[in-house]
Amino acid sequence: MSADAPRPHDLLRLADETCFVVPGDTTPGGNAPGHAAPRSVDLASSTLPPTLPPTLPPTLPPTLPPWVPAALARAPWVVVRRALPLGPLIPVGVRGATRAERCAALLAPARVPIALSPEDLAHAALRERHVRTRQRTHLPVFHALARVAAVLDATGLPWGPTGSVGFELASGWPAATERSDLDLLLRPRGRLSRAETVDLLARLERPAADLRLRLDLQVETPLGAVLLPELARPSGEVLLRTPWGPRLVADAWASSGEVAVPPALP
């Protein structure tokens, strides 16, 4: 596993389910000062049972849902959630067989041998090998991925698939279906101008429309992530997804040193 802290949407591979602490979500203010928040959307693997912290947020239930062991037996991967860590524990999500089967949990980071980011899953050779060997060529979402990959690769910006497609590429488990959306993450190295976001949105909308599927691209910014269509709007506040929850902000590109974290939505 990389020495970097897992980020939202990174995928983590588990050797078994004993690495979990408890299910649930961390509450705002629950992370230690100066503790780097994990990135959403990376997948990782761990075999070491965690050491429970002295206190846990009271919102955490004591047991995992009954479907979790079977889900992890099928595909021992979890995704890093965009939430506050609890000390060293990473906020992750477990994916079951249906949309109703989603579970928030905390994961000890020790002995995590495999962690994949969306960028790791964007390589053409990996995508093409998976689609061919797993006989997934009939799914519109993989056709769309091949088309938008050409657009995104041309930008030179780090990007990758998330959601069901990202989970399937990482785990090998057939998470995508005929009706799956295509979820993507873009991690630019700096601020994108409105002209850049408008141009990129126009080039991505065509393949999605041709294949009649929904495309959701989140753009990572210093304090969270924003959907590309919101950044392309001429004016107005945008919905920023942060570890503290969703916030309406005037400037999604402001750094943590430039603005205070805005209050939660009512």
Q: Return d(Cα 117, Cα 122) in angstroms, integer.
A: 9
Burial degree of 205 (CB within 10 A; 0-12, 13-18, 19+): middle
Residue found under tokens 């769309």: 144
Q: Nearest-CA neighbor of 115 among 242, 225, 5?
A: 5
Which has the closest alpha carbon to 3: 36, 47, 40, 52? 36
Give me the catalytic one of 16, 181, 199, 251. 181
Token look-up 């009706």 returns: 179
CA distances from 90 to 18, 79, 184 (A): 15, 10, 22
Q: Is 183 a catalytic residue?
A: yes
Residue keyed to tokens 């992890």: 72
Burial 84-95 (b: 16+ CB within 10 A, else e): bbbeebbbbbbb
Q: Which of 25, 42, 120, 183 is catalytic?
A: 183
**Alpha carbons 87 and 70: distance in angstroms, whole number:** 28
d(CA 128, CA 142): 9
**Which residues are catalytic, by number?**
181, 183
